[in-house]
Amino acid sequence: MKRSWLIHGLILSSAAAGALLVFTFLNDLYNLTSGTHVVPVTSTGTLWNIVGLPPSPASLIDLIPYFSADPLLTPHYRPFLFFSVLLVTAALCFVQAYGLRRNASWALYSIFLFCLIDFGGQAVHLARTTVSQWPAIAAAPTAFAGFAAFLLASKRMILKVCLDTGCAAALSRGGYGDFSLMGEEQTPAAWPRQPAAPLSNSLADHPPPVLGVPAVSAGELDDHPTLRKSARVVLWGSVACCSVLLLLVVSKPLFPTPSPTQFDLYTRLMPSSLVAALQYGIVAWRVRRGPDGFGLGLACACSFGVGAAGFVTGPILFLGLFQRSMPALADTMPSLKPVAFLVLAFIVVNCGIFLASLRISWLARFDTNRSPTSWALGFAFPFVLLIVLRAMVFHWLP
C-alpha cells in the first residue's frame, strides 16, 4: 500500500462519509415532512457498507450505544438529537478530510485514533456475534455450513478489523512521508534531474511530483502504458457488463414463473437492468477513444454502487451456487444458478472497472484537458437519475 494512495484514500473516504451523512439528514428530513424518502433507506445503507469501511470520524456514531441506552435515537422520536448527531459527525468528517489534505499532524493523529476506536468497537461486535451465532454454528449439519453462516454474519466486521489494522500500521510507519506517527523524520527520495526546459504557466506541463506515483504530463498522458491498459479494462468491462445485463433481460426462461402470491423476480429486475445497461453503454461510448471525464466518473459511480451491493449479496450468491436444489421445488421452480453465476460475474467485472477507472482518474488529475467538473457530473449522473425516476414513478402511480 503506497503512502500517497493511503492518504488520498482516507481523504476521499472522510469526504464521502460526510457527504453521505448530509444526504441521510436530507433524506430523513424529507421523510418527516412528506412521508416518503427521496431514496430508499436500503440504498443509503448499501452505500454505507463501502463508505463506512475506512476509518473516519463517522466511527464515533458506533460509540453511541456504549454511552446511551436510549433506543429512541431516531428521526421520528428524537429528531433534534438525531439530526444534530448527523450534522456534527458530517462536519467532523469534512474537517478531517481538510486536515489530511493540508498534511496537518493533528489529522494524522486523529485518524490513527479512529483506527483504534474502530478496531475496539468491531472486536466487541465480533465477540458478541460469535456468542450469539454459536448455537446456530453448532447445530449446522456440516462444519463448512457453520463456518459459512458465521462468515456471512461477521464478514463486514472481519474486513473492517483487517482494514483498520493495515491503515494503522501504514500510518505509523509512513504518515505523510516526511512526518510519521513514530516520530521519524523521513527524507524524500531524490528525483532524477531533468534537462532544462522553457518556463510554462501550464500545470499540466510540469505537474508536481507525488510520492509513490510518477508525474505524467498532458502530452505523455495518452501514451502512458498503465493508462492504456486501464482504459481497455474500463472499455471492455463496460461492454461485458452491458452484455450481461441485456442477456438477463432476454433470458426470461432462466427466472422462475411466479404464482399470484410469489415474488416476480424478472419483472422487478428488468427495468433496473435496462437502465444500468444504458449507463454502461454510455461509459463504453465515452471512453472508446481514450479517457473521458464524464465516462470515467460514470464508470466509478456505477461500479461503486455495484460493489457496495455485491459486498452484501456476493457471498450469499457464491454459497448458493454450491447448494443443492430442493427436490420439492424442482418441478415448479427452475434453478437460479445460471442467474446467480451471471450476477457474480457482473460483480467481479465491476470491481475491475472501479479500480481501473480510479487509476485513470488519478493519472489524469493534472491534465487540464480533462475537467474535474465533467468527472463529477458523470459520477453524480446515476444517483440523480435514480432520484428522478423514483419521483416519476411515485407521481404516475396511483
**In this structure, are 16 and 146 located in the same domain?**
yes
Residue 180 in domain:
no
Please give the Cα distance from 61 to 57 (Å, whole number).
8
CA dihedral 79, 81, 87, 88 (to 10 degrees): 180
Q: Nine-digit cell at 142?
A: 456440516
Answer yes or no: do 260 and 362 share one domain: yes
The answer as to whether 191 is a domain residue is no
Predicted confidence at residue 95, as pLDDT, reads 93
- Residue 129 and residue 246 share a domain: no
DSSP 68: -
Q: How far, in Å, CA of 152 to CA of 315, rounded?
A: 7
Give me the pLDDT at residue 396, please.
61
Q: pLDDT tens digits, residue range 283-316?
A: 999 888 777 788 888 898 888 888 877 776 777 6
163 with 236, same domain? no
Residue 215 included in any domain = no
Structural domains of the chain, count: 2
Three-state SS for 279-312 is HHHHHHHHCCCCCCHHHHHHHHHHHHHHHHHHHH
One domain, residues 154 and 35: yes
pLDDT of residue 40: 78
Per-residue pLDDT of the chain (398 residues; tens, 9 = 90+): 445 568 888 888 899 889 989 988 988 888 888 888 877 777 777 778 778 888 888 888 877 777 766 655 777 778 888 888 889 999 999 999 999 888 888 888 888 888 888 888 888 888 888 888 778 777 777 776 777 777 777 778 888 888 888 888 888 877 776 666 665 444 444 444 445 444 444 434 444 444 444 444 444 555 567 677 788 889 999 999 999 888 888 887 777 676 666 667 777 778 888 888 999 999 999 888 777 788 888 898 888 888 877 776 777 677 666 665 544 444 444 567 777 788 888 888 998 898 888 888 877 766 656 667 888 888 888 888 877 777 676 656 54
63 is a domain residue? yes
Helix (H) or strand (E) holding 227: helix 225-250
pLDDT score for 192: 47
Same domain, 249 and 108: no
The verdict on residue 183 lying in a domain is no
pLDDT at 204: 43
What pLDDT does 88 receive?
92
Range of the domain at 320: 221-396
- Collapsing DSSP to helix, strand or coil, 288 comes out as coil
Examine the fold and report which residue of 136, 158, 173 is the final residue of a domain before the chain moves on. Answer: 173
Claim to verify: residue 12 and residue 159 sit in the same structural domain = yes
Among residues 146, 173, 200, the one where a domain terminates is 173
Q: Are residues 83 and 165 in the same domain?
A: yes
Whole-number pLDDT of residue 96: 92
State the residue for C-alpha cell 418441478.
331
Instruction: Check residue 4 and give its pLDDT.
Output: 59
